[in-house]
Amino acid sequence: MPRAVVVGAVVLLLAGCIAPPAGPVGRADPARAGASPQEIFARDLRFIYEEIRDNYVNLAYKEETLGFDWDELYASYSAQLAQARTEKDFFRLASLFVSELRDGHVMLWPYRGSPEVERRLYDFDPALQDLFTVRLVEGVPIITETELPLLPVGSEILTLNGLSFLKLVEDASLHFFWGATEQAAAARVLANRLYFHYLALISDPFPAQLEITFRTPDGRLGDCKISPQSAARAVRPLPKLDPYPTLQIEDGIARIAVPTFEVDPKEFRTRLEQIAAELKGAGVEGVILDLRGNGGGNESFRDLLSYLVSEEIVLAAYRYRQSPRMGQVYPLRPLYETLLGRRLRGVREEGYSGWYCWKVKPSREDVFRSLPVVVLTDRLVFSSADRFVGAILEHDLAVVVGTEVACTGHGLPTSVLLPSGGYVLNYGFQELRDAQFGHLEGRLRQPHVFAEQTLADYYRGVDTALERAMSLVKQR
């Protein structure tokens, strides 16, 4: 049997062994049944400390760049455990500890397999999250959608239950640091309405009445009071959004929205092929790839890049931390990478695997390469989406318009169950760098053209960044 066939068969067999597990690894500590809450909190905090110390791929880099010592941080947070009287107290403390890493892939959340823990922490109706939508426009929190007639769209939200809304978002972003910069984390808090989760964590119980103060576009002050139960009943189910790329042609310009890379790779490729075929006879002047809000996903971003590159490129270099947990969960991962031909020459350090790389080859379809292409970004672009934008900038594949993009140098996120059985810690084993082995984690990439929504344009119904992108396409 030919060697290529054997290798291919082995790769297919290994493919099912190298994907992240469907649920968290590890198990709850049986001894927790007879322990006091304070003992359980202490065990969980120490577990977080040891799990990150022994397994997290970017710990040494974070200690160097952020200027902390993980052992000293643990000692500091451990000393605060005496003030943790409730689950909410502990979760706030532990979340802050994890967020010291300033890594959007490292997070702590309630274990979905123990729904009672999530209900106790977030003791509000999840439907409240769809009550209204807030967006920061020139630093002002603007209500862009609402289900409450007394809360006008376009108003600035000032307070929520007596708390400054901006301060609430800032504090929440420290606990839910789901981004690579403070601005990105705040943007994610707003997009995911995590201000309700944080309000629940600092309230025991969740407020019996929501009190919102706001300022209308003409400067009038107003307030809105509603019970959470009434508010939840007022919410209409949101339409299900298409996760795959969609095409819209306007004024001779093709705008392709790419909301996520958390997709089925085969279906993603099929959708791209359909769009490329439609563009062939459309006579468009150029293409705008709108990645705003794209929080990443899997390696499907490489399929989109293949439509833009004219020759094979090395997209990124990566390696794994050879840790106890990595060996337990992904023992065959290095073999899989080697069989795929991804090995890359580079200095191998103690405690890490050798280097591997992602490559992208040009697609046979050249419709994108024959047209001016603009990529739209914002601060919600994250994970594999920020690597897409980084590759665009590094290889000069298109004009990038929007805000800065904070890079992540961390992959293969995996969930681990804490000893209490109530919480899950998420972190990764894969360190991602650029093709020259330069660090990516936490680094900012500036767009070719900075463009962000302005208040003046918002009130005129104009999408500032999109208008700038369309203007650039027409100029080219």
As a whole number of Å, the CA-based R_g of the chain is: 24
Reported confidence tier of residue 370, pLDDT bands at 50, 70, 90: very high
Q: What is the DSSP letter of 368?
A: T
Residue partners of 410: CB distance under 8 A and separation at least 6: 57, 58, 103, 105, 106, 428, 430, 431, 432, 441
Q: What is the pTM of this model?
A: 0.91
Q: Is 58 helix (H, G, I), strand (E, B) or coil?
A: coil
Q: Is the pLDDT score of 469 beyond 90?
A: yes
* Cα separation, 45 vs 91, whole angstroms: 10
Amino acid at residue number 174: L
pLDDT at 21: 82
* Cα separation, 373 vs 248, whole angstroms: 15
Task: For residue 205, say if its preceding peptide bond is cis, omega within 30 degrees of 0.
Answer: yes
Reported confidence tier of residue 12, pLDDT bands at 50, 70, 90: very low
Reported confidence tier of residue 5, pLDDT bands at 50, 70, 90: very low
Q: Report residue 173 as tokens.
A: 């972003």
Q: Is the pLDDT score of 3 beyond 70?
A: no
Q: Is the pLDDT score of 450 beyond 70?
A: yes
E strands, 198-330, in order: 210-215, 221-226, 246-250, 253-257, 286-290, 313-320
Q: Report residue 176 as tokens.
A: 């839910």
As a residue count, the chain comes to: 476
Q: Is the pLDDT score of 176 beyond 60?
A: yes
Q: Is the pLDDT score of 310 beyond 60?
A: yes
* pLDDT tens digits, one per residue of 386-427: 999 999 999 999 999 999 999 888 788 899 999 999 999 999
Reported confidence tier of residue 18, pLDDT bands at 50, 70, 90: low
Q: Report residue 138 as tokens.
A: 């020139």
Average pLDDT over the chain reads 91
pLDDT at 413: 86
Q: Is the pLDDT score of 53 beyond 70?
A: yes
Share of the chain above pLDDT 70, in %: 96
Nearest CA-CA partner of 391 in 402, 405, 410: 405
Chain centroid to CA 53: 23
pLDDT at 85: 94
pLDDT at 316: 92
* pLDDT tens digits, one per residue of 328-356: 999 999 889 999 889 999 999 999 999 99
